[in-house]
Structure 1
C-alpha cells in the first residue's frame, strides 16, 4: 500500500501542489513568529546588558559607603570595581541650555557601552565627553568649552533659606560619543566626566557631613583566568562580612552576571511581555494554519472523490477499510512533513533576510547578526504543520473507507452536501452564533454603559469567539445560498455566467470550505483595520478634549503660586521675540500669547491661603488654536474655567462663587469646571488685568498644521526656545497623539501583515478549487466546446466562477470584520467616553479589489488547462 500511495502521489503532484503551498506558508509563518520572539528577547536583553558591556559581574544593592566598595576591590581575582554613577547637570553653550545625564568614567573604560566618535574620553578634571547630538545642539566640537551650572548646598537647607549657591564652571569638551546599543537612550543619552568630578558634584548637593544612603550598582571586571562563580561567592562573602561589621542591611545585595541582570530587569520592565507578544502573534499563525487546513481538507476530499474507482478496485482485490484509511493518512503525513520542511527553511531564510535588512537600517536597537535557531524553532513548525495536515485529512480518510467495492462498476456521483447530522449541526451552529453575538453586544454595553471596560472586553472577546465559531460551523448551510443569490444576479449577464453560478453549487461543501477560508482571513483583517481606525479617531478625540493645545511653551510651570501671590517671587516672562520665532517654525500654524499671574483664591469650603496660577486668553483667539473648544466654551467675563483635576483637589464645585485676589485688586468669578488640562484657572484678558495690570506673557499656545508632524516640529521649537535666556518648558499633546498614532499604525501594520498570509493561503484555495473543478468537469467542458462554446467563453465561465467564490467570501468577511471591529473598539475604549465608529473605506475597497483580482488570477491556470484539451479527445477519454 505504501508503494501504491507514493505512486498515486506522483500522479497527483499538480493537485497536491496547492495544498502543499498552503502548508508551506503556514509553517513558514510559525517559524518566523518563533524567530521574531527570540530576536525580541535577545534585543531586549542586549539593550539592558549594554549598560554593563565588558563587566564580568554586576553587584546590585551595594551599601553606599567606601567600606563596601573597598571590600569588593580587595576580593581575590577582582581587577576593577567601579560604582555606576550618573549625575544630571545643566550645560550651557552659545545661549542654549540642556539638562544632561553625566556618567562617572570607570577605571576600566571597556565597561562603557559608549563609543568615541571624535576626540577621546576625559583624561583630567574639568573635561567632559558629550553625546554627538548634544554637541550638535550646543554647537560645540572637541576642544570647545561648555558651562556647567550647578547648585551647591552650603548649610542646612531646612534652617537656612539662602543655603543654595549657584556655581558656574567651564568644562572642556574632550570628545563626542555615540551609543550604538541604545544603552542610555531612555535617559536621553549620556555624557562622561572623570569619576572624581561626578562624585564631587553629587556630594555638593548634600549638607556637610551628610552621607549617601541609596545603595549603588558596582561593575566588576576580573583578572584573567579567574572563575566567575568563585569570584561571585567571594564577593558575596566579603560584602556580607563588611556589612556585619557596620550593621548595614544587605537584603538587597545581588551578585549576578550581565546576562542574568538583563533577564531580571527585562522581566521587571515587561512582565514577560515578550512571551505575551509571541503568543499573540502565534494566534495569527494559528489562523493561517486553520485556513491552510481548510484548503488541505478540500484538496483531499476531491482527491478521494476522484479516486473512487481506484479505491473500490482495491476493495475488490482484498484491501480492507483500515488499509485505505492508512493510505490516505500516510499521503497526508508525507505531504505535511515535506511541506513543513520547506516552510521551515523558507521561514528561517526570510527571518535572516529581514534581520540583515534591519541591521542595515538605523532602528536604534542592537539587532543580532543571525537568527537564533533553537530546538523549538525547528520542532514546532514541523510538528504543527504535519499534525494540521493529518487532521485536515481525517474526514477524507473516513470518506475513503465508505467506498463500496461495487463503486468500481459504476461512475461516482459528486459529493453531496447533505448528511444525516445536518440538522443537528445547523441547530448547534445557529445557537452558538446567537449566544455569541448576544455576548458581544453585552460586552459593549458593560464597557460603555456600565463603565467596566476590563469586564466588557472579556465578555466581548468571548462573544466574538463564540459567534465567529458559530458562523464558520454553519457556513456550509448558508454560504452556498449566498453564492446562489450572487450567482442569480451575475447570471443575468448571459448563459456563460449562469453556467459559472451553477458550477459553484455543484459541490456546495467544497465551495463553502473555499469561500470560508477567504472569509476568515478577510474578517480578521477587516476587524483589525476597523478597530484600529475607530481607536485612532476615538483616542484623538479624547486627546483633543484633554489636551486641546498642540504645543505649549511656558516659563511659569516651576513657579510657586504662593510665593508669586505674596510678592516674594516673580514669574519670568516669555521673551517678546519668541512668539515670532516660534511662529516662523515650519509646521506651526498659529501662536497665541497667554499672560498669567498668581492670585489668592477664596470661597466656601476652599482652604485658606490657597493660591493658583491664573491665565488669560481671548475666546476668539482660543478658537483659532484649540483642537477642541468644549472646555473653554463657558469662558466669558466674570467666569473662571477650572480644570476638573483642580476642582477635585480643592473642593471647587461647578457654579461656585470664588474671590480672586491679585497684586492690583480682587475679582468675584463664577467657577465653570471643565476637562481643561491642569494649568491653573483660565479667565478673559480684561478680568486678568483687574487682578494684575502688568501680568506678563508666560506661555504660548501653539497650533500645528498637522499634529502628525509633532515629532519633527517640536524639536525645532525646543531649539528655538533653547536659544533664549528664559528657561521655558516645551510640552504638548501633539507629541503624545503622534506617539499613539504611531503605535496604532505599527501594530496594525504588523497584524495585517501577519493576517495577509491567511488571505494568500485562502486565495490559493480558490485556485485549487477551480483547478480540481476543471479536472472533474473535463468531459462536461468538452461537451460545451462541442456544442459551440468558444475558448474565450470557457475562460470567462471559470473567471466568473472564481470571482463569485472570492468576492462572496471577501464581502461577507468585510461585513463581519466591520461588526467585530466596531464592537471591539467600543468594548476596549469605553473608558474614553463614547467610541467613534469609523468605516475604513480605503481598506474595505482594497480588500474587495484584491479578492476580485485574485479570483480572476486564480482562474487563469485552470482555464488554460481546460482549453488545451480538444473536445474529441476529452469525449473519447474514460
Structure 2
C-alpha cells in the first residue's frame, strides 16, 4: 500500500527540508552577525531571524498538513472496496484505521529524515559557495544543530495526525460495500455535518469582526496589527473548515467559463460531481495563493501610503520604499514554498482521481472519445481547480492584505485614509502565470495514465 504515498513522502520531505534550511540558514546568519565586529554585541538580529524562521516553518508545516490530510482522504476513498472486503472477512474499522495511521507515521518519518538531510546539505553547499566567492567570511559554525530536529518532529506528528484525520471515512465503510465500487460521494450524497458548517460560520464572523476592529485600532495604536492578524487567522480557519460550502459553488461558476465543448462540459461536471475530492484538491493551493497575495498586497498598500505621506517629510520616510521592496521579494519567495507543496498535492490528487475513475474513462474511450479528447478533459479539470483556487486566493489575499496594511497606520504619521489599496501587479502576474503553468504540469501525469489504459481493459476493472 505504500506505493500510493510517493507524493506524501515528497510533501513531508519538502516541509522538513524547508524547516531545516531555515533553521540552519538563520543560525548561519546569526553566527555571521556575531562574528562581525560592528553587530557582534547585539542579539537583535538573532531574535528577529528566529521569529521569522518560526513563522515560515509553521506556514510550511500547516500547508504540508493540509495537503497530506487531503492525500490520505483520497487514498482511503480509493480503497473503500478493499477495506470493505477485509471488514467482510472479520477485520474491524478500528484495525483498518490503525493501519492507515501507521502508514502516515511511516510516511512522515521517511520524508522528515530525507528533508533534514537535504535542507542541511543545501545550506552547507550555499555557505561553501559564498565563502569561495568571499561573500561570507570565515567563522565557526556547526551543522550538527539539534534544533533542526524540531521541524522534523513536527512533520512526523502532523503527517501522522493528517493520516488519522484522512482515514475517518474508514469508520463509515460497511462490509456490504465490498459488493460495490470504490467511489467518492456524489454531490447529492455529500452532506457535511451541521456542526462543522456552524463552526465555520462562527469563525468567519468572529474573524471578520476582529479584522475590522484591528483596522480601527490600527489608526491609533501598534496593537491593531496583532488584533487584525488574529482576525485573519480565525476567519481563514473558518473558510478552510467551511470549504465544502464555498469551493463547489465556485467550481460550478468557473466551469461555465470553460466553454461548451463535450470535453469542457464533462470536465465541469466531474469537478462538481465529487465535491469532496475537488475541495481536497483545491484547498492547499487556495492557502498558498492567499498567503502570497496577503503579503504582497499588505506591503504594496503600506508602501503606497508611505509614498503619499513622504511628500510632506521625505527625510522621515527615506529608505522605507527600498526596504518594503526587499521584504516583499523575501516574503514572496518564502510563502511561495507553500505553493510548491500545494502543487505536489494537486498533482497527486488528480492522479489518484484518474486511477479511481479507470472504468469511467474506459467507457468514454469505448463510446468514441479519443486519447486527445481525454487529455483535453483532464487539462480542463486541472484548469478549473487551479483557476478556482487562484481566483478565491486573490480575493481573500487582497482583503487580508488591505486589512493588515491599514492596521499598521498607527505605526507611522500622516498616512492617507482607509480607501487606499495597493496591488503588486508583478507579483499578481507571477501568481496567475504560475497557476497556468501548474495547470499544464498537473494534467500531464494523470492524462498519460488515463490514455495508456485500453478501453476493454478499463471496462474489465473490478
TM normalised by structure 1 equals: 0.50
Residue 276 (structure 1) shift: 4.0
Is the Cα–Cα contact under 8 Å of residues 76 and 169 in structure 2 kept in the other structure?
A: yes
CA distance in 1, matches of 2:76, 2:227: 42
Alignment of structure 1 residues 332-343 onto 2, 5 Å: 332-343=104-115
Q: 2:231 aligns with which of 459, 463, 469?
A: 463
CA distance in 2, matches of 1:361, 1:807: 43
CA distance in 1, matches of 2:137, 2:246: 52
Alignment of structure 1 residues 828-847 onto 2, 5 Å: 828-830=408-410, 831-832=412-413, 833-834=415-416, 836-847=420-431
Q: Look up the match of 2:27.
A: 38
Q: Look up the match of 1:540.
A: 307
CA distance in 1, matches of 2:138, 2:351: 44
Q: 2:169 aligns with which of 387, 399, 404?
A: 399
Q: Look up the match of 1:502.
A: 269
Q: Look up the match of 1:446.
A: 217
Residue 332 (structure 1) shift: 0.9
Q: 1:761 aligns with which of 341, 352, 368?
A: 341
Matched, 1:856 2:462: no
CA distance in 1, matches of 2:10, 2:398: 30
CA distance in 1, matches of 2:191, 2:458: 36
Is the Cα–Cα contact under 8 Å of residues 308 and 407 in structure 1 kept in the other structure?
A: yes
Aligned-pair Cα RMSD in Å: 2.2
Cα deviation digits, residues 645-684 of structure 1 (max 9, x gap)? xxxxxxxxxxxxxxxxxxxxxxxxxxxxxxxxxxxxxxxx
Matched, 1:773 2:353: yes
Matched, 1:807 2:391: no
Q: Look up the match of 1:307.
A: 79
CA distance in 2, matches of 1:318, 1:367: 65
Q: Look up the match of 2:285.
A: 518
Q: 1:372 aligns with which of 140, 143, 153?
A: 143
Cα deviation digits, residues 667-718 of structure 1 (max 9, x gap)? xxxxxxxxxxxxxxxxxxxxxxxxxxxxxxxxxxxxxxxxxxxxxxxxxxxx
Matched, 1:872 2:450: no
Q: Look up the match of 1:428.
A: 199
Q: Secondary structure at the match of 2:223?
A: helix
Is the Cα–Cα contact under 8 Å of residues 112 and 155 in structure 2 kept in the other structure?
A: yes
Q: Look up the match of 2:257.
A: 489
Alpha-carbon distance change, 421 to 798 in structure 1, aligned in 2, over 3 angstroms: closer
Is the Cα–Cα contact under 8 Å of residues 779 and 874 in structure 1 kept in the other structure?
A: yes
Alpha-carbon distance change, 877 to 426 in structure 1, aligned in 2, over 3 angstroms: closer
CA distance in 1, matches of 2:197, 2:168: 22
Is the Cα–Cα contact under 8 Å of residues 285 and 754 in structure 1 kept in the other structure?
A: no
CA distance in 2, matches of 1:368, 1:481: 57
Alignment of structure 1 residues 690-705 onto 2, 5 Å: none
Q: Look up the match of 2:7.
A: 18
Q: Secondary structure at the match of 1:282?
A: helix
CA distance in 2, matches of 1:767, 1:414: 18
Q: Look up the match of 2:124.
A: 352
Alignment of structure 1 residues 236-315 onto 2, 5 Å: 265-267=41-43, 270=44, 273-315=45-87
Is the Cα–Cα contact under 8 Å of residues 37 and 275 in structure 1 kept in the other structure?
A: no
CA distance in 2, matches of 1:800, 1:331: 33
Unaligned runs of 5+ in 2: none
Q: 2:326 aligns with which of 746, 753, 760?
A: 746
CA distance in 2, matches of 1:469, 1:397: 21
Q: Which deviates more, 827-836 or 520-529?
A: 827-836
Cα deviation digits, residues 245-282 of structure 1 (max 9, x gap)? xxxxxxxxxxxxxxxxx5xx323xx2xx5234323322
CA distance in 1, matches of 2:172, 2:279: 23
Alpha-carbon distance change, 863 to 286 in structure 1, aligned in 2, over 3 angstroms: same
Is the Cα–Cα contact under 8 Å of residues 292 and 397 in structure 2 kept in the other structure?
A: yes
Cα deviation digits, residues 147-187 of structure 1 (max 9, x gap)? xxxxxxxxxxxxxxxxxxxxxxxxxxxxxxxxxxxx25x8x
Is the Cα–Cα contact under 8 Å of residues 26 and 53 in structure 2 kept in the other structure?
A: no
Cα deviation digits, residues 277-310 of structure 1 (max 9, x gap)? 3233222222222222222222212222222222
Q: Look up the match of 1:641.
A: none
Is the Cα–Cα contact under 8 Å of residues 534 and 825 in structure 1 kept in the other structure?
A: yes
Is the Cα–Cα contact under 8 Å of residues 108 and 155 in structure 2 kept in the other structure?
A: yes
Q: Look up the match of 1:616.
A: none
CA distance in 2, matches of 1:787, 1:333: 43
Alignment of structure 1 residues 169-184 onto 2, 5 Å: 183-184=37-38
Residue 358 (structure 1) shift: 2.9
Alignment of structure 1 residues 793-804 onto 2, 5 Å: 793-804=373-384
Q: Secondary structure at the match of 1:837?
A: coil
Alignment of structure 1 residues 139-218 onto 2, 5 Å: 183-184=37-38
Is the Cα–Cα contact under 8 Å of residues 351 and 371 in structure 1 kept in the other structure?
A: no
Q: Which has the higher helix share?
A: 2
Residue 416 (structure 1) shift: 5.3
Alignment of structure 1 residues 96-115 onto 2, 5 Å: none
Is the Cα–Cα contact under 8 Å of residues 26 and 385 in structure 1 kept in the other structure?
A: yes
CA distance in 2, matches of 1:402, 1:818: 39
**Matched positions, count:** 457
Cα deviation digits, residues 79-115 of structure 1 (max 9, x gap)? xxxxxxxxxxxxxxxxxxxxxxxxxxxxxxxxxxxxx
Alpha-carbon distance change, 800 to 367 in structure 1, aligned in 2, over 3 angstroms: farther
CA distance in 2, matches of 1:459, 1:470: 17
Higher relative contact order by CA 8 Å / sep ≥ 6: 1 or 2?
2
